[in-house]
Homo-oligomer: A and B are copies of this chain.
């Protein structure tokens, strides 16, 4: 039987060999954390390599994702479908073993990590999701949701601001199901951390209300005891501070940043083999080591036991069981289409004049009973974002609920939402001022990269925001979000468009959506029912030119569509035939077939865009010769209506711009 150290050395060997072969990567962290990982994975982690999607598995997150060979080693050794050939192609095109752990590439990778601090924040989201799902589904004697989230992290994650946002909130929630390990090795890329990182981390996490322990990260018994103790604390998240030596085993490069982000070199690899007593060729793992790691039988047994528990639950609570399965599968309720068709039609019938943020709240209110998987929230702007509704109940880890006050933590909120979406069973949305999506840009991008269904409610979407001034007025932000690959941005112009956008965002299976909404009121509009499908295509002819083919097409979005419609009317009086295209989602429109696109934007017809944002974005639709009504400078502080006029968002200016292109 291989010793614990020998088992751990398999991680060290695979890591240094794979990095050496790729001549790229980070051997230091996997070699330093190998002993911790060995104890956690072999003695504690509840998982089944034969079914990486088992609903009640523990989640393991490598927040220091650059140490990706650690998780690849663990997945390979414990029996996941990650063959040695994949390890050998580490960091090569289309390998399962990408440079950083990428969700969807290797089985068992729960979230994409690499952008530091976001892994632990996702982890808080996983743990919150577990708590929320347990609250909603467990019954006395039936704890079908009962797992842990384990997170590994390094100094970098702890320096990042988002770790503060997430870990503080985890403390408030008392997330006893969250156990994090800090790889305390005194090294970051710039070298020994004394000159830039001197936090008393134990004290910091105690200040957040965590249970904190400190151990020697190379002492398996101590690690084991700490995990046991952490699991016993059920009302607080746990941090286990593990004193480690980066690159453990490398005689000349351990305990130095030389082994952080570069291959050890052939010679040092050989010396390390010797030091570790690892007498095998690269990528060769002896049978007894594989046997010591193999978690398949144990995993099958654990899952079988849970299946029995679930069957008993299903016998007693068949509807809940079915609902649990539906939600974990990410399926919508059976009557979804019928429900939402009626909802859209009803809102359209009312044709209310409301701010689009208020329209969004009306839709949330309507959808809430249909979507128990909704978990709403705001970064401390609930009353401004209008993200809550009467049927919601605040939740902060104590009592069940479905609305979260995230605090003033925009980045934390969106990265937590990513974790909740990845966990499954929940549909997270969260609000902030559109301007402060800047704080969270990376989390929004990560949702897009991981193809997760999260919904960002971004209100106060232009200079129409008004008095708060330029620090609170988006200019370039909508364009910036639209450029994120796989992000669907919607900037709807009336309540019907808001309803369609919400439905589209909920139905999306492969990525996030951002709903960009006005602070100020927008005139109501009653659409033909044919528009419902057209809106869903991202852009459509809202109002056709009268009296013949259009001389010009005005493309507008959101609160500026009304200007376009009024300009059309004025121009008609001057004999100019104008088509008005409402384009709530450029991203969705861009995915339509060419025939549809040409039917909306007839080739050869001059175009003018109207949007309270940067103008250059619109050149992709209006070309070099088209007209643009927009804003390319920062805003000002004044009432919204005053600013709109001041910056040229007037019917008069739209008319003038149209005439200038004819």
A residues adjacent to B (C-beta < 8 A): 22, 24-25, 65-66, 91-95, 98-100, 102, 112-117, 155-157, 159-165, 168-169, 171-172, 188-191, 193-204, 206-209, 378, 380-384, 394, 396, 404-409, 411-412, 435-436, 438-439, 441-442, 445-446, 448-449, 466-472, 475-476, 479-480, 483-486, 614, 616-617, 619-620, 623-625, 632-634, 636-639, 642-643, 646
**Most chain B CB within a 10 A radius of its CB, from A164, A408, A445:** A408
Which of B172, B380, B646 lies in contact with A188, CB distance below 8 A? B380
How far does the Cβ of A268 sit from chain B's closest Cβ, in whole Å?
Answer: 18
When C-beta atoms are compared, the residue in chain B nearest to A203 turns out to be B207
8 interchain pairs, CB-CB under 8 A = A92-B639, A188-B380, A188-B408, A196-B405, A448-B634, A480-B480, A483-B617, A620-B624
A168, B201: Cα distance in complex, Å:
11
Q: Using Cβ atoms and an 8 Å threshold, which residues of chain B touch A171?
A: 198-199
Tell me whether A476 and B484 are in contact (CB under 8 A). Answer: yes
- By beta carbon, the residue of chain B nearest A631 is B485
Chain copies in complex: 2
A514–chain B nearest beta-carbon distance, Å: 13
With A160-B408, A206-B203, A638-B91 known to touch, is A468 a contact of B100 (CB < 8 Å)?
yes
Q: Return A194 CB to nearest CB of chain B, in Å.
A: 8
A466 contacts which of B24, B190, B616, B642 (Cβ < 8 Å)?
B24
Given A168-B197, A476-B484, are A114 and B469 also a contact pair (CB < 8 Å)?
Answer: yes
The smallest C-beta distance from A400 to any residue of chain B, in angstroms, reads: 14
Which of B66, B197, B438 makes the CB contact (< 8 A) with A172? B197
Q: Which of B157, B163, B383, B446 contacts A189 (CB 8 A)?
A: B383
A201 contacts across to B, CB distance below 8 A: 207
Evaluate contact between B195 and A396: CB separation under 8 angstroms: yes
Q: Which residues of B contact A197 (CB under 8 A)?
A: 168, 172, 407
A172 to B193, CA, bound (A): 10
Partner of A114, one of B113, B468, B639: B468
Q: Are B471's CB and A168's CB within 8 A? A: no
Cα distance, A616 to B485, chains bound together (Å): 12
The 7 closest A-B pairs by CB, nearest first: A161-B161, A164-B164, A476-B483, A93-B638, A98-B637, A203-B207, A114-B471
Contacting pair B93 A642 (CB below 8 A): yes
Bound Cα distance A160, B166 (Å): 10
Instruction: Note all chain B residues with C-beta closer than 8 A to A382.
Output: 189-190
Q: Tell whether A195 pairs with B168 under 8 Å between CB atoms, given A99-B468, A189-B380, A468-B99.
A: no
CA distance A94 to B637 in the complex (A): 7
Give Cα A322–Cα B94 distance, bound, in whole angstroms. Answer: 60
B residues in contact with A199, CB < 8 Å? 168, 171, 207-208
Q: CA–CA, A646 to B617, complex, Å?
A: 27
